[in-house]
């Protein structure tokens, strides 16, 4: 599997974000999916032992969006236009989970992507469908100073 880059300050993948999840995604080209593992700390609960739905949505938003980089173009960044979440089962904290994402439709201006968060037994806790689009030039330009921190880190 091919490791995707991470950033410096992102809540989900930021290497230097002391409050973040420090997730790492991999391109699984055989399955045509992007994959990551995550354990949501108890401090991000909505109820004791249950992850807050907003945290779960953020994980799926990022995972589905990273599916656009399955082609290996790690500078191919998009932003979310629409995110639809279906919470199927409570997502536990302090439990290893697997996030998988994939591309459903590739368009010229946007893409349809999807993802799931899986419990240790493989059951889907939450799933999402999203539409991602290329950011405007103004937004892309504002990210330029961080580009040097967008990289694949050695384990």
Interval 64-105: pLDDT, tens:
999 999 998 888 788 999 999 999 999 999 999 999 999 999
Asked if 68 and 113 count as a contact pair (C-beta separation under 8 A), the reply is yes
Task: Match 């032992």 to its residue by tokens.
Answer: 49
pTM of the predicted model as reported, rounded to 2 decimal places? 0.94
Residue 155 has pLDDT above 70, yes or no: no
The pLDDT value given to residue 140: 79
Q: Which domains does the chain have, with CATH numbers?
A: 2-145 (3.10.129.10)
More confident residue, 7 or 141: 7
Question: Do residues 115 and 60 make contact, with C-beta atoms less than 8 angstroms apart?
Answer: yes
> Is 93 within 8 Å of 44 (Cβ atoms)?
yes
Alpha-carbon dihedral angle through residues 37, 13, 52, 98, given to the nearest 10 degrees: -10
């Amino acid at each position: 599997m091919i490791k995707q880059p991470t950033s410096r300050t992102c809540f989900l993948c930021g290497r230097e974000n002391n409050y973040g999840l420090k997730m790492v995604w991999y391109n699984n080209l055989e399955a045509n999916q992007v994959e990551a593992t995550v354990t949501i700390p108890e401090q991000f609960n909505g109820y004791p032992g249950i992850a807050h739905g907003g945290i779960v949505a953020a994980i799926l938003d990022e995972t589905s969006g990273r599916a656009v980089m399955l082609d290996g173009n790690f500078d191919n960044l998009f932003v979310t236009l629409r995110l639809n979440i279906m919470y199927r089962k409570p997502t536990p904290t302090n439990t290893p989970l697997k996030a998988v994402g994939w591309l459903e439709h590739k368009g010229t201006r946007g893409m349809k992507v999807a993802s799931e968060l899986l419990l240790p037994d493989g059951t889907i806790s939450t799933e999402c469908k999203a539409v991602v689009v290329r950011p405007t030039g103004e937004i892309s330009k504002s990210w330029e100073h961080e580009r040097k921190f967008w990289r694949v880190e050695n384990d």
